Amino acid sequence: MRVKGGITGIRKRKKVLKQTEGFRGRSKNARKLAMQSLDRALAYNYRDRKALKRNMRRLWITRITAAARLRGLSYSKLMGALNKAELHLNRKVLADLAATQPAHFDQILKSVGLSN
């Protein structure tokens, strides 16, 4: 006896069409196109989550470099001194301090022996 999809198939199609609600053209309501578009969209989503992490790290390094250069240092000397002093601040925190609280950034430099 043949078993048709029934409610299971309907649920699967509804799930896909719900996820493709904001797409343009037939990609949002034609099942086959919707599934293809959704697959591609999810692949881009995964890829770009990784890219965002890379881009943010680059931005933080750029901001730290700019702050270090204003104080006559290079990025590598600053990071080397922080590691040597075992002061474990991540780049996100350092970039935020450099941009919003320069006085605290200067105190960090003094604590690792890099003040002028």
Q: Kindly list the domain boundaries of the chain, sorted by start residue.
A: 7-111
Q: CATH number of 7-111: 3.40.190.10, 3.40.50.300, 1.10.1900.20, 1.10.760.10?
A: 1.10.1900.20
Side-chain-side CA neighbours of 106 within 13 Å: the count stands at: 8
pLDDT category at 46 given cuts 50, 70, 90 is very high
Tens digit of pLDDT for each residue in 50-101? 999 999 999 999 999 999 999 999 999 999 999 999 988 999 999 999 999 9
Burial class, 108, CB count within 10 angstroms (exposed 0-12 / middle 13-18 / buried 19+):
buried
pLDDT number for residue 51: 97
Quote the percentage of the chain above a pLDDT of 90.
84
Return mean pLDDT, the chain. Answer: 93
pLDDT number for residue 5: 76
pLDDT number for residue 116: 58
pLDDT number for residue 27: 94
Helix H or strand E encompassing 44: helix 31-70
DSSP 26: G
